[in-house]
Structure 1
Amino acid sequence: MIQTKNALITGATKGIGRAVSIAFAKQGINLSICSRNEQELSDFKQELHKINPQITVVTLLADCSKRDEVINFAAFTEKKLGFVDIIVNNVGMYKHVSILNDSGDSFQKQIDTNLMPSYELYRFFGKSMVSVGKGHIFNICSVAALNPIAEAGVYSVTKYALLGLNKVMRLEMQGQGVKVTAIIPGSTLTDSWKGIEVDKNTMVLPEDVASAITNILNMSAGANVDELIIKPAPGQI
């Protein structure tokens, strides 16, 4: 009998997190998801159960820019689902402004949103993953971590930091049977582009990222994808 896996996904009701949740539901993976919007969580939970009535879906209202709420979400997930096989650190914020023109609180806010949750969830679940010698952690980074965007200065800095954290996590885990993967998408059609007219045929879709993650997840036990870059075919927007 194949044991059902359990996954935790942050910021799961929109964009990449939503697409990954749907892809995992189709794979028969139990889900623990969070969002800052209770109605969106409730509606999405029903949608996921329609996709696959056999899986368990648990939800929690949480602001992942707040450390206590991240840790509470982790503890809630462990209590409801037990061992967590998969973590998808998806939550993030994008701010299109140069560092010199940015607000005084922007640096801390983006650190707390784009970096801190991955660090805290790693600290919370890492040792339990090591103890059983399995698990897979996905960190949703950005091509801004490879080629900084001057017009999104703090965002670029925090995504650089997340990619650096991913590298450290992978080195700590590679002898422990636990996999760590950085997903590095380019221009992706998410709410970051809200209000801007774009052609979706020139962009990466959230479903593309979800497909990549599920394919990586289904690789043999001996294979790990360290980093995966997904860019728009015509180039960055």
Structure 2
Amino acid sequence: MTIFSSEALAHKHILITGATGGIGTEAALTLAAMGASITITGRNKEKLEQLKAELLRKMPVDRLCVQQADLTDPADRMRLIEQAERKLGFINGLVNSAGVSGGKRVEEIDEAFLAEMMNLNFVSTFLLTQEVYSKMLEKKEGNIVNLASLSGLRGTYGNTAYSASKFAVVGWTQSMAVEAIGHGIRVNAVCPGYVDTEMARNSLRKKAERNGTSFEEELDNAKKEIPSGRLSTALEVANAIAFLMTDAAGNIVGESLKISGGSVMR
């Protein structure tokens, strides 16, 4: 069901990282349907081309930029921004959806695993945002939405490195929001729990392997722990991102919007 105007984000250019993931893909489709010009990026070229084809069935080619990039590579980050600005102009919206999951207990984590998790989920995202933000500061406008997680609000068993990376995202969101709002730039985060995506399914498979259970058992257990009785959909997360991108959320600053089915309330 469409709940947003097809012109709600007209004249906006929004960069979406991690666009080849379940949430990033839905965010791209939703924001494009709201009239935004969008740049999509991800590491998987084949999936990017598939998303490009799907988007071009819904929007004109002159509103779309597609750029493959590995955000952990400084040269790729700069190339992404340059190509996006060259084709579509000033980036006044940024959706940081790139990231990975990974569940291990403390004693199983080595320095390489921890460094990779923090780099993929926090450091590289921070550094890309820093570059985009510098242009927003010049224009005195902009809107940034970071994809965090319920794991950035509370800890869970066997999830220490991932949780640490998402706590970092939430803390960064709050601190940056305080700095940015005086320049007309809003920064917020969305914090979903289990979402019906391949990333969540992989997480449940790993949990099943660790617990000596089946994927189906872990999925059923996850649903039982959620008062709504189901996982969130990627579209529901995309709609939350879209709302934060609109002027309707004009005085929502530094928030971590939970999408939990009632499992986390505070």
Normalising to structure 1: TM-score of the pair? 0.90
Partner residue in 2 for 1:228? 257
219-228 or 28-37, which moves further after superposition?
219-228
Distance apart, 1:66 and its partner CA = 2.9
When Rg is computed on C-alpha atoms for both structures, the one with the higher figure is 2
| Counterparts of 2:18 and 2:182, CA distance in 1 | 30
5+ long unaligned stretches in structure 1:
none
Question: What is the letter of the counterpart of residue 261 of structure 2?
Answer: P
Q: Does 1:74 align with 2:81?
A: yes
Partner residue in 2 for 1:212? 240
Count of residues in correspondence between the two structures: 235
| Counterparts of 2:104 and 2:40, CA distance in 1 | 30
Contact 2:71 2:128 in 1 (8 A): no
Partner residue in 1 for 2:136? 129
**1:190-219 deviation per Cα after TM superposition (whole angstroms, max 9, x unaligned):** 222135333686111110011112122223
Distance apart, 1:98 and its partner CA = 1.2
User: Identity, % of aligned pairs?
Assistant: 27
Q: Which residue of 144, 148, 151 maps to 1:141?
A: 148
Map of 1:196-211 to 2, 5 A cutoff?
196-197=215-216, 198=219, 202-211=230-239
Q: Which residue of 187, 194, 201 maps to 1:187?
A: 194
Question: What is the letter of the counterpart of residue 59 of structure 1?
Answer: V
Give the number of the structure whose residues are more often helix, by fraction: 2
Q: Which residue of 26, 30, 36 maps to 1:29?
A: 36
41-50 or 196-205, which moves further after superposition?
196-205
Contact 1:187 1:232 in 2 (8 A): no
5+ long unaligned stretches in structure 2:
1-6, 206-214, 224-228
Map of 1:41-80 to 2, 5 A cutoff?
41-53=48-60, 56-80=63-87
| Counterparts of 2:134 and 2:119, CA distance in 1 | 23
Map of 1:80-91 to 2, 5 A cutoff?
80-91=87-98
Normalising to structure 2: TM-score of the pair? 0.81
Question: What is the letter of the counterpart of residue 31 of structure 2?
Answer: F
123-132 or 214-223, which moves further after superposition?
214-223
Partner residue in 2 for 1:174? 181
Q: Does 1:117 align with 2:124?
A: yes
Structure 2 SS opposite 1:32: strand
